[in-house]
Amino acid sequence: MATNNSVNIKKTVADLLKNTSPRNKDIISRRFGLKTGQKETLESIGASYSITRERVRQIEELTLSQLGQVAASHPDVKNYVVLARDILNEHGGVIKERDLFKSFSGGEGDNINNSSLVFLLTLSNELVRSPENDDFNSFWAVNHATLASFVNTTNSLIKVLEKTNKVVSNSDFVFLAQKHEVPSFSTTGKPLSEADINLVMAVSKNLGSNIFNEVGLASWSEIKPKGVRDKAFLVLKKSTKPQHFSSIASLINASGFNNKKANVQTVHNELIKDNRFILVGRGMYALSEWGYRAGTVKDVLVDILKNSNKPLAKAALMAKVKDARMVKENTILLNLQDSKTFTKNPDGTYNLKK
């Protein structure tokens, strides 16, 4: 069916434009990409005719108005509108423009056939197009009410994540959306479904998922890591345990962020600068959110005893230090021998020297 659509739609477009003046026909063709599949700006078209962008816009508006009257009674245009509406209804009344293209012509890219479909749907004015902007990719809705509902659903999902304030799995996101009774935009009248949420994820630029299929706001570094540090945070968090910086580099390179390889020494240098990471052993890094403490073993011992309301036995100190750092017992004992900082009591407990 996609092949037949591609062949016939060109004939329909040609038929609609046959009585249009050469200049107006050229302007419309270039604005919608009817010749090459690539749309041109008002400025570039104006420059080729030595007229202002505003004049080009006026010509476009007038020509579309005239063609709209012709399209209103054109049977082929009606058929394409019905076809597009059927595709939208199969998706709950909303569809990402690229997905509409794929259903129509078999390809989601910019080409003459897909541009021709947008042109015909624009002339009919029965379906509603939301052009790409800062918040959304281009998408279509069966009517203005459904479009408004879709935007409302999207904003509600964003608020759920803002309240949760952390990345979640796809299944957890569906659960949270239903728990918070996020309204559905679907024309089917059914409650918000996983398919609805996936559509919102595809259209919204403010929502995203990372390489581990976790969902969050696109502005979060765990969703769109901007550099080595963010990537290191993501893979280390996923590993759930401290790793040597060379292993962290390997995890980054194996995770498929992009083709740019992470250099081992660069990873080490970046981890040192970021307080999200704690050096817990020789070249071993953990996340500070795991409860590990920064500083030397001596610093950790001082911190533990400061926060204790009583002297601590050697075994208790050993356990607490190991919770905070990956270190050998002998290293802890060696630090406890610093008589200028620590006092060993007759019962074998330790406290800070006053």
For the chain, the structural domain boundaries read 2-130, 144-217, 228-290, 297-352
CATH topology of domain 297-352: Arc Repressor Mutant, subunit A (1.10.10)
Nearest CA among 294, 269, 265 for reference residue 280: 294
Q: In tens digits, what is the pLDDT along the chain, a chain of 354 residues?
A: 454 565 689 999 999 999 999 999 999 999 999 999 999 999 999 999 999 999 999 999 999 999 999 999 999 999 999 999 999 999 989 999 999 999 999 999 999 999 999 999 999 999 999 999 999 999 999 999 999 999 999 999 999 999 999 999 999 999 999 999 999 998 878 889 999 999 999 999 999 999 899 999 999 999 999 889 999 999 999 999 999 999 999 999 998 787 788 999 999 999 999 999 998 878 889 998 988 777 788 888 998 999 888 999 999 999 988 887 777 888 889 999 999 999 999 999 999 987
- Look at phi and psi of residue 154 and say left if phi exceeds 0, alpha if psi is from -120 to 50, else beta: alpha
- Quote the pTM value: 0.79
CATH topology of domain 228-290: Arc Repressor Mutant, subunit A (1.10.10)
Contact predicate 123/135, CB 8 Å: no
Same fold, 228-290 and 297-352: yes
CATH architecture of 2-130: Orthogonal Bundle (1.10)
Tokens of 124: 């009919």
Q: How far is CA 292 from CA 240, 301, 328, 342, 351, in A?
A: 13, 13, 16, 22, 21
